[in-house]
Amino acid sequence: MRALYIVLFFLVLYFNGNTQTQWNGKFEQLGEILPTPNSYRTGSGAPGSNYWQQRADYVINAEVNDKTQLLTGSETITYYNNAPESLKFLWLQLDQNIFAGQSIMNQTSTGAVKDSIPASFFGTASGITVTDYKGGYTIKSVKDAAGKNLPYIINNTMMRIDLPAALKTGEKFSFSVDWSYTEYNRQVFDGRGGYEFFPEDGNYVYTFAQWFPRMCVYDDYEGWQNKQFLGQGEFALTFGNYSVKITVPSDHIVGATGTIQNPKSVLTKEQLERYEKAKKTFDAPVFIVTEKEAREKEKTRSEKKVTWEFYAENVRDFAFASSRKFIWDAQAVKVGDKTPLAQSLYPKEGNPLWERESTKAIKNALELYSQRTFEFPYPVAYSIHSAEQGMEYPMICFNGERPKKDGSYSKTTLYDLVQVVVHEVGHNFFPMIVNSDERQWSWMDEGLNTFLEKETVRLRYPELFGTHGTPKGIVPFMRGDKSQMRPIMTSSDDVRPGEFGANAYTKPSAALTVLRETVMGPEIFDKAFKEYAQRWAFKHPGPADFFRSMEDASAVDLDWFWRGWFYTNDNVDVDMAEVKWFKLRSESVDPEKKKLKVKRGDLEAETNGGKGDGNDFSNGPEEFTLLNTPEYLQGEFKSRVDDNAIRQKLDGKNIYQIKFKNVGGLVTPLVIEWTFKDGSKEVERIPAEVWRLNENVITKVFIKDKEVVNILLDPNFELADVEMRNNIFPKKTTTSKFDQFKKNN
Ligand SMILES: [Zn+2]
């Protein structure tokens, strides 16, 4: 007898061990992983009462040499120290040094020769340059406001300037840097700016980016963000005002971050009239330079120079584009009480696609993003066309996608153009205004931006909308080999390039879509997302500020979500492992008489045991007995449970018990589609917290009036469940003869 008990004891242990494997704390709060809240950044995710940030104002004079591609510049930076501590030195970013021979990027790029490789391998991805191009800055001088040389040291892509005296809190310091570099051919050097050369007419389209020494960010949680530029991790930049003069050949058209300050001296009388008309035209773009005019200009070269003046307030960077090839169209967009000017500059090689779609896409992006975040605060938004690009700066972005030589283009090219313009214009919001640290966290701008880009395409271009950035679209990636995969919360430069698109862009976008459509619901999600954007507009948020704000504004516990989607490589794969169908047996039983042991917390009623193979409903319902509530479960209550009333409510109902297994590891809400015998359907949504007491296997009971013929998990592909074959009941275990035939032929 005693021996039997011991055997039973171990059987129970074995059984439990199988069904409830170890607890991974998937619903535990992120508390200890996130930085401790303080008076700079609060536990709510909002900036704190002592939040501060630095400021850097720039006055820059630059000149483009169209014959040698040399860019020469001199800049005066006024740096405001708002930190509570003094600074002995300042760090500047010298991004062009990434193209210098011995840059860390060149030294540490890896690749193999293999049997045969394209010639462009030697000059781009491999980091081994065999061209004659000499990249990197020539720094001519670094001087204080009195013209005295300041000591500086250059460490690769970073330059430290030592200050004559410590810069105390509340003080500012002005200094000047004179520099030059030769712009690179983007066809050979894979950069974010560079030039495109057009051999047919001998002209260039220049897109100048990371073109001047820029201040690093100094902040409350990282100090100086002076992590070297390795190519993939982008930029961390300080806000300030920019006054920039750009000297170019007089037949060039220039577009830049900011508003043109001297239109009368750089535009012809006719161009000026068109420019003024565009500012008041909301329905369609106005041509300031037509294609015909641009084609004429391509044929000649002006030896005269002209200086374009731009001013931009409260921006984190400044970029510009210049070419005599540019066609220019523009129209005003209504955003709240502002009317920013949407403008496109493109060579004829972009037409007719560009004149039809670019400015329209700018308008669509500005309108939708403004609805979801804050009203676009800047006065202009440019989209510039140059081959194979997609890069963003405040108020200006550079975009590829051009039609075939005969002007025709496919639906895919149209989609790619719309997508890239919406995306790069969208970057005005993340990270140009919600100014996160791209060097460390690519997902904070790319992920949030891809999500809103996808929303813009979904709502403004439904005919082009596909699976990009959606839960369905991320399934192939989530299903992939986990051994080398990195979670979203991985430093930008440590993400493997082949996975960068998924890790930084589409996985976070898919995750936010799951959050909006399934976990939170659109109304609550949109409110919380907007709250985050508004809290951190013109500030520097970190990941915790986003995670915390989304919870703070919604009353949805999201720690499990950030844990699973952002800190692990787990994927959603729920196996509907077992379905049982019950009906109430029509007899009442007095448990006192039957001497049945029904303990408090014992949720399983007595059944007549399993029937059939359990793969379909063919064996009909199992019957179960509803026991009268035993006396000892009535507790101290003087009244008694009305067993018959409960029995009547259940009489004739179909009761389904489903066992769900979490195969992929990522806890998820359940979306269940019930199909009834009469052909009608019902979709039921269960929050992810259903897994909190057992992260691996759960059993749940559902009561339905009508008989169910089919149960389908994730019917709309909204959960990113990577395996649909275990999402259906009746189980389709055998391959039909027809399927087999198709497979073999
Ligand atoms: Zn992007």
Question: Which tens digit of pLDDT belongs to each residue from 247-275?
Answer: 999 999 999 999 999 999 999 999 999 99
Distance 201 CA to ligand 1 centre (A): 32
Which stretches in the chain have pLDDT values below 50?
1-18, 600-612, 734-735, 738, 745
What is d(CA 720, CA 540) in angstroms, rounded to the nearest whole number? 31
Distance 602 CA to ligand 1 centre (A): 54
Distance 567 CA to ligand 1 centre (A): 21
Distance 474 CA to ligand 1 centre (A): 17
Distance 423 CA to ligand 1 centre (A): 6
Q: How many residues are listed for the chain in this entry?
A: 745
Distance 267 CA to ligand 1 centre (A): 32
Distance 427 CA to ligand 1 centre (A): 6
Report yes or no: 341 and 381 within 8 Å, Cβ to Cβ: yes
Distance 491 CA to ligand 1 centre (A): 16
602 contact partners, CB below 8 Å, separation of at least 6: none
Distance 390 CA to ligand 1 centre (A): 7
Distance 105 CA to ligand 1 centre (A): 21
Distance 407 CA to ligand 1 centre (A): 27
- Compute CA distances 308 → 60, 204, 262, 311, whole Å: 12, 18, 7, 10
Sheet strand arrangement including 240-249: 138-144, 172-182, 70-80, 55-64, 240-249, 305-315, 259-260
Q: What is the pLDDT of residue 116?
A: 84
Distance 102 CA to ligand 1 centre (A): 28
72 contact partners, CB below 8 Å, separation of at least 6: 62, 63, 65, 179, 180
CA 550 to chain centre: 15
Q: What is the pLDDT of residue 376?
A: 98
Distance 384 CA to ligand 1 centre (A): 15
Q: What is the pLDDT of residue 157?
A: 96
464-480 confidence digits (pLDDT tens)? 999 999 999 999 999 99
Q: Which of 288, 413, 292 is nearest to 359 (CA)?
A: 288
Q: What is the pLDDT of residue 600?
A: 46
Distance 429 CA to ligand 1 centre (A): 11
Distance 422 CA to ligand 1 centre (A): 10
Q: What is the pLDDT of residue 9?
A: 39
Report yes or no: 477 and 502 within 8 Å, Cβ to Cβ: yes
Q: What is the pLDDT of residue 11?
A: 37
Distance 431 CA to ligand 1 centre (A): 9
Q: What is the dihedral of CA 263, 267, 268, 272, to 10 degrees?
A: -50
Report yes or no: 304 and 249 within 8 Å, Cβ to Cβ: yes
Distance 157 CA to ligand 1 centre (A): 22
Distance 424 CA to ligand 1 centre (A): 6
Q: Which of 511, 568, 524 is nearest to 550 (CA)?
A: 524
Distance 343 CA to ligand 1 centre (A): 19
DSSP string, 146-174: TS-B--EEEETTEEEEEEEEEE-TT-EEE
316 contact partners, CB below 8 Å, separation of at least 6: 237, 238, 239, 240, 394, 431, 432, 435
Helices 411-426 and 353-372: angle between axes, nearest 10 degrees = 40
Q: What is the pLDDT of residue 601?
A: 46
Distance 450 CA to ligand 1 centre (A): 7
Distance 645 CA to ligand 1 centre (A): 61
Distance 345 CA to ligand 1 centre (A): 20
Q: What is the pLDDT of residue 744?
A: 53
Q: Which of 286, 294, 358, 369 is nearest to 325 (CA)?
A: 294
Distance 601 CA to ligand 1 centre (A): 53
Distance 713 CA to ligand 1 centre (A): 33
Distance 417 CA to ligand 1 centre (A): 14
Distance 234 CA to ligand 1 centre (A): 10
Distance 164 CA to ligand 1 centre (A): 39
Distance 193 CA to ligand 1 centre (A): 14
Q: Which of 404, 402, 438 is nearest to 417 (CA)?
A: 402
Distance 443 CA to ligand 1 centre (A): 9
Distance 451 CA to ligand 1 centre (A): 11
Distance 449 CA to ligand 1 centre (A): 7
What is the residue whose two structure tokens read 């880009």?
453
- Compute CA distances 281 → 271, 274, 276, 300, whole Å: 15, 10, 9, 32
Q: Give first-to-last CA distance, the chain, whole Å.
A: 62
Task: Say if strands 697-704 and 654-662 run parallel, antiparallel, or are unpaired.
Answer: antiparallel
Distance 707 CA to ligand 1 centre (A): 49
CB-count exposure of residue 740 (10 Å: 0-12, 13-18, 19+): exposed
543 contact partners, CB below 8 Å, separation of at least 6: 34, 441, 444, 489, 566
Distance 181 CA to ligand 1 centre (A): 26
